[in-house]
């Protein structure tokens, strides 16, 4: 009986050792698989990025090769802001290239934007005016697709003509600044706000301090100034085509159909129809500036960090 028990115990010990050995072997095998997977990934990633970069360059260069008279298209899509695809730097670069091409019969800026930075919008507006003055033989038209609101319309108003779809959203000519107040919340939580500044109003818009009426009045005056810049740009750009100024600068939006009646737009049109009817060509070339993959990745990370900082500060003025 004792011998049987000893044998069973030895057998169980052997089985356990074999099981642990098998498990350890599986773990070692899994570690090596993970190691080699990471190694292959690190080895292939640079080549993949380089291939995509070269692919981007090839596509862009091929797309911009002129095959004769054409309508040059530049796309403005998304929020108009620094480090975004619709930044002034990016849009202006595309416009300059479009005007520079010897076979460009006319330029079409397509806009699908809710607005953004008044400064970035003004940069694009001013460059559009300059390019048209420098190249009087090359007309610049805007085609609004889904939306040209606020800063998007600011930019559009610099064009010779603005074309829309019946259902396009147009307008929102106004300025806003967003802020929050957490005074009651921190009081309930028993938190004491300690802020040291040099300068009476350096703590402007601090969400943890009670609203200051003097500062509020100052900010409203500042917003009114920016609004006036916006209004004047639209009036100058539309050159007497606004049917009325009543309600146009209150921040309201309209459909493309109603925008034509108000003089905010000149007619219906798409890229293809404007190329054919205004420039007498079916050929369309895209001059939109596109970031390379690696640059785009770095930019997105930088923008994400900047946005978080901006949300904490919450002091942005926007044409939204």
Say if residue 104's pLDDT is above 70: yes
Question: Which pLDDT value is given to residue 253?
Answer: 97
Enumerate the H helices of 143-270 as residue ranges: 151-156, 183-188, 213-238, 256-262
Question: Which pLDDT value is given to residue 40?
Answer: 66
Helix (H) or strand (E) holding 149: strand 140-149
Say if residue 27's pLDDT is above 60: yes
DSSP 80: B
Residue 55 annotated as catalytic: no
Characterize the bridge pairing of strands 267-268 and 169-171.
unpaired
- The top-scoring range by mean pLDDT among 13-27, 32-46, 256-270 is 256-270
Distance CA 174, CA 154 (A): 10
Give which of 119, 77, 121, 114 is closest to 286, Cα–Cα: 77
The answer to whether the CB of 309 falls within 8 A of the CB of 297 is no
Distance CA 252, CA 265 (A): 15
The answer to whether the CB of 259 falls within 8 A of the CB of 170 is yes
Mean pLDDT, residues 122-148 taken together: 98
At residue 312 the predicted structure's pLDDT band, cuts being 50, 70 and 90, is very low
Mean pLDDT, residues 131-139 taken together: 97
Question: Which pLDDT value is given to residue 56?
Answer: 46
Give which of 205, 184, 203 is closest to 194, Cα–Cα: 203
Question: Which pLDDT value is given to residue 130?
Answer: 98
Inter-axis angle of helices 88-100 and 118-134, nearest 10: 10
Residue 2 annotated as catalytic: no
Mean pLDDT, residues 47-72 taken together: 57
Question: Which pLDDT value is given to residue 145?
Answer: 98
- The top-scoring range by mean pLDDT among 17-21, 132-136, 191-195, 297-301 is 132-136
Question: Which pLDDT value is given to residue 11?
Answer: 59
Question: Which pLDDT value is given to residue 258?
Answer: 97
Give which of 89, 124, 126 is closest to 109, Cα–Cα: 124
Q: How many CB atoms lie within 10 A of CB 33?
A: 10
Characterize the bridge pairing of strands 169-171 and 104-113.
unpaired
Average pLDDT, the chain: 83
pTM of the model: 0.73
Residue percentage of the chain with pLDDT more than 70: 70
Catalytic residue among 33, 100, 166, 202: 202
The answer to whether the CB of 294 falls within 8 A of the CB of 163 is no
Distance CA 95, CA 77 (A): 14
Say if residue 140's pLDDT is above 60: yes
At residue 203 the predicted structure's pLDDT band, cuts being 50, 70 and 90, is confident
Distance CA 301, CA 83 (A): 10
Distant-in-sequence contacts of 236-245, Cβ < 8 A, 24+ apart: 236/157, 237/125, 237/129, 237/157, 237/158, 237/159, 238/157, 238/263, 238/264, 241/266
Say if residue 36's pLDDT is above 50: yes
Say if residue 74's pLDDT is above 60: yes
Catalytic residue among 90, 117, 121, 150: 150
With tokens 């001013």, the residue in question is 126
At residue 50 the predicted structure's pLDDT band, cuts being 50, 70 and 90, is low
Going 72 to 281 to 66 to 133, the CA torsion angle's sign is negative
Residue percentage of the chain with pLDDT more than 90: 57
- The top-scoring range by mean pLDDT among 10-14, 53-57, 70-74, 188-192 is 70-74
Tens-place pLDDT, residues 166-185: 999 999 999 998 888 888 88
DSSP β-bridge partners for residue 89:
none
Question: Which pLDDT value is given to residue 32?
Answer: 66
Question: Which pLDDT value is given to residue 246?
Answer: 78
Token pair listed for 21: 């050995």
């Amino acid at each position: 009986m004792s011998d049987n028990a000893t044998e069973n115990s030895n057998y169980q010990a052997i089985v356990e050792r074999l099981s642990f050995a098998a498990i350890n072997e599986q773990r070692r095998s899994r570690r090596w698989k993970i190691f080699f997977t990471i190694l292959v990934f690190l080895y292939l990633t640079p080549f993949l990025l380089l291939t995509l970069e070269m692919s981007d360059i090839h596509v862009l260069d091929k797309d911009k090769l002129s095959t004769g008279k054409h309508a040059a298209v530049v796309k403005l899509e998304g929020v108009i802001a620094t480090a975004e695809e619709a930044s002034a730097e990016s849009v202006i670069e595309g416009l300059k290239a479009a005007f520079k091409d010897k076979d460009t019969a006319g330029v079409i800026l397509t806009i699908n934007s809710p607005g953004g930075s008044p400064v970035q919008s003004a940069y694009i507006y001013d460059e559009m005016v300059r390019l048209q003055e420098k190249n009087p033989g090359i007309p610049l038209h805007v085609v609004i697709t889904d939306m040209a609101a606020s800063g998007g319309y600011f930019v559009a108003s610099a064009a010779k003509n603005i074309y829309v779809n019946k259902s396009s959203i147009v307008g929102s000519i106004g300025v806003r600044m967003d802020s929050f107040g957490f005074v009651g919340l921190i009081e309930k939580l028993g938190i004491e706000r300690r802020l040291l500044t040099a300068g009476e109003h350096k703590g402007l818009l601090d969400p943890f301090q009670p609203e200051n009426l003097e500062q509020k009045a100052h900010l409203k005056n500042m917003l009114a100034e920016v609004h006036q810049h916006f209004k004047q740009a639209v009036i100058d750009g539309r050159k007497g085509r606004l049917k009325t100024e009543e309600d146009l600068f209150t921040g309201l939006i309209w459909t493309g159909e109603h925008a034509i009646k108000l003089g905010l737009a000149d007619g219906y049109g798409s890229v293809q129809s404007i190329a054919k009817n205004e420039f007498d060509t079916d050929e369309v070339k895209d001059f939109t500036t596109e970031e390379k993959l690696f640059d785009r990745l770095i930019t997105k990370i930088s923008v994400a960090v900047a946005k978080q900082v901006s949300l904490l500060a919450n002091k942005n003025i926007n044409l939204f």
